[in-house]
Chains A and B, each alone.
Chain A
Amino acid sequence: MPDRQEIYAKTVELIAPYNKRGVAITEATRFAQDLEWDSLTVLDFVANVEDEFDVIITMNMQAEIETVGQLVDALQRLTAARA
Chain B
Amino acid sequence: MPDLFSKFDPLIEQREALLESGLTDPFNLVMERVESPTVAICNGRRTILLGTYNYMGMTFDPDVVAAGKKALDEFGSGTTGSRVLNGTYAGHKAVEQVLKDFYAMDHAMVFSTGYQANLGIISTMAGKDDYIILDIDSHASIYDGCALGNAQIVPFRHNDVEALDKRLKRLPPDAGKLVVLEGVYSMLGDVAPLQEMIAVSKAAGAMVLVDEAHSMGFIGEHGRGVAEAQGVIDDVDFIIGTFSKSVGTVGGFCVSNHPKFEILRLVCRPYVFTASLPPSVVATAATSIRKLMDSADKRAHLWENSKRLHAGLRQLGFTLGTDEPQSAIIAVIMPDLETGAAMWEALLDEGLYVNLARPPATPAGMTLLRCSLCALHSEDQVGEILGMFAAAGRATGCIS
Contact = CB atoms under 8 A, between A and B. Distances in A.
A43 B136 contact: yes
Central interface residue in B146, B163, B167, B171, by most chain A CB within 10 Å? B167
For the residues of B in contact with A, the DSSP-based class is mixed
Given A47-B157, A59-B155, A60-B152, A39 B166 contact: no
A58 B153 contact: yes
A39 B360 contact: yes
A59 B360 CA distance: 17
Contact of A51 (B166, B171, B363): B166
A77 to B, nearest CB: 15
A54 B136 CA distance: 19
Interface residues of A, number: 13
Contact of B154 (A38, A39, A40, A58): A58
A40 B152 contact: no
Contacts of A43: 136, 155, 157
A30 B360 CA distance: 22
Central interface residue in A43, A51, A59, A60, by most chain B CB within 10 Å? A59
A51 to B, nearest CB: 7
A56 B167 CA distance: 7
A18 to B, nearest CB: 14
B179 to A, nearest CB: 14
A60 B132 CA distance: 11
Contacts of B364: 40
B170 A55 contact: yes
A47 B146 CA distance: 19
A50 interface: yes
A39 B136 CA distance: 11
A60 to B, nearest CB: 6
Contact of A47 (B152, B163, B170): B163
Contacts of B365: 38, 40
Contact of A56 (B146, B154, B157): B154
B397 to A, nearest CB: 28
Nearest to A39: B360
B362 to A, nearest CB: 11
B352 to A, nearest CB: 31
A56 B170 CA distance: 7
A55 to B, nearest CB: 7
Interface in B261-278: none
Nearest to B158: A43
A60 B153 contact: yes
Nearest to A44: B157
A60 B129 CA distance: 12
A33 to B, nearest CB: 15
B337 to A, nearest CB: 15
Interface of B: 131, 136, 146, 152-157, 163, 166-167, 170-171, 360, 363-365
Q: Across chains A and B, which 10 residue pairs bring their CB atoms closest together, nearest first?
A: A59-B153, A58-B152, A56-B170, A58-B154, A60-B152, A58-B153, A43-B136, A56-B154, A47-B157, A56-B167
9 contacts: A40-B363, A43-B157, A47-B156, A47-B157, A50-B170, A56-B171, A58-B153, A58-B154, A59-B153
Given A50-B170, A59-B155, 7 more contacts: A38-B365, A47-B156, A47-B163, A51-B166, A56-B171, A58-B152, A59-B153
